[in-house]
Amino acid sequence: MKVLIIYSHPSPDSYTFEILQRLKSALSKEQIEFEVSDLYAMNFQTDMSEEEYQREGFANLKLAIPDDVLAEHRKMEAADCIIFIYPVWWSDCPAKLKGWFDRVYSVGYAYGYEASSEITKMKPIQYGLVICTAGHPNEFLKEIGIAESMRNVMIDDRLGKRFKNKEMLILGGTLDKEKVRPIHHHMIDSIGSKIKEYCTS
Ligand SMILES: Cc1cc2nc3c(=O)[nH]c(=O)nc-3n(C[C@H](O)[C@H](O)[C@H](O)COP(=O)(O)O)c2cc1C
């Protein structure tokens, strides 16, 4: 059983980094193997080049997929569970992660599969988990409809049918960290057993 964590935050001084560390130790305690794609630390390219657009925009499956994107595909193929961790910035993920989806969800792999092409279709992932930290409390994000829109975009569209089981944890209220930290840590600590439940059946 293997977990791939796609992590998107520029600073180790952040609350989001603290959540990543907590998750890593929770997984280690459960003896669950994991790998992290730390997008800022990797300096992952998130702008789509003109050359890539010629492939993605026109579904030209004969054009090559860049090596850094293929490396992400290989990590995904080795994973039973993928966890996305990021802060909510302007009601969505940081541009760094949005660019990961733009480039890594290659046509012919994550969608638009053609049996005649040489590209292997993305394998179905057992469990997809989205963890985002947010300044606003969850109640407020629900009240203004943003919790629902973030869920629609991340869970229904970006994870979509590619994942068999999907969940989103909005760790809101981080303006008052002392208040929310114990609740958030408790949520993170239970993730290992959920992964085992979804990925060993
Ligand atoms: C550029 C930027 C945009 C943000 N936009 C939102 C937002 O739309 N909604 C929200 O609840 N919090 C927003 N926040 C607050 C972050 O989600 C909050 O600080 C988060 O918990 C990350 O904390 P960290 O940077 O210490 O990890 C924003 C923060 C930044 C820096």
**Ligand 1 mutation pick, 14, 38, 85, 88, max ligand atoms within 8 A of CB:** 88
Q: Using one digit for the tens of pLDDT, what is the confidence trace for 69-80?
A: 999 999 999 999
Mean pLDDT on 11-21: 98
Asked whether the beta carbons of 23 and 195 are under 8 A apart, the reply is: no
Q: Ligand 1 pocket, 200 CB below 6 A? A: no
Q: Please tell me the pTM assigned to this model.
A: 0.97
Q: Using one digit for the tens of pLDDT, what is the confidence trace for 134-173?
A: 999 999 999 999 999 999 999 999 999 999 999 999 999 9
Q: Does 89 have pLDDT greater than 90?
A: yes
Tokens 């890539």 locate to 52
CA atoms within 13 A on the CB side of 122: 27
Residue from 43, 167, 45 nearest 98 by CA? 45
Phi, psi of 133 (to 5 degrees): -95, 145
User: Which own/partner pairs from 155-159 qualify as long-range (CB within 8 Å, at least 24 positions apart)?
Assistant: 155/128, 155/130, 158/101, 158/105, 159/128, 159/130
Tally DSSP H helices, then E strands, for the chain. 8, 5
Q: Does 35 have pLDDT greater than 90?
A: yes
Residue 182 and residue 63: Cα distance in Å, rounded?
49
Residue 76 and residue 43: Cα distance in Å, rounded?
19
Q: How far is ligand 1, taken at its centre, from the CA of residue 159, in Å?
A: 22
Asked whether the beta carbons of 37 and 44 are under 8 A apart, the reply is: yes
Q: Ligand 1 pocket, 150 CB below 6 A? A: no
The larger pLDDT score, comparing residue 116 to residue 60, is at 60
Phi, psi of 172 (to 5 degrees): -85, 175
| DSSP labels, 117-170 | SSSPPPPPEEEEEEEEE-SS-HHHHHHTTHHHHHHIIIIIIIIGGGEEEEEEEE
Asked whether the beta carbons of 48 and 102 are under 8 A apart, the reply is: yes
Mean pLDDT on 42-64: 96
The larger pLDDT score, comparing residue 115 to residue 122, is at 122
Q: Ligand 1 pocket, 8 CB below 6 A? A: no
Domain ranges in the chain are 2-199
Q: How far is ligand 1, taken at its centre, from the CA of residue 194, in Å?
A: 27
Amino acid at 177: K
pLDDT at 201 (0 to 100):
63
Mean pLDDT on 18-41: 97
Residue 92 and residue 107: Cα distance in Å, rounded?
23
pLDDT at 73 (0 to 100):
98
> In this structure, what DSSP letter does residue 135 have?
S
The alpha carbon dihedral of 132, 135, 136, 141 has a sign of negative
pLDDT at 114 (0 to 100):
87
Q: Which CATH number fits domain 2-199: 3.30.70.580, 3.40.190.10, 3.40.50.360, 2.60.450.10?
A: 3.40.50.360
Mean pLDDT on 183-193: 97
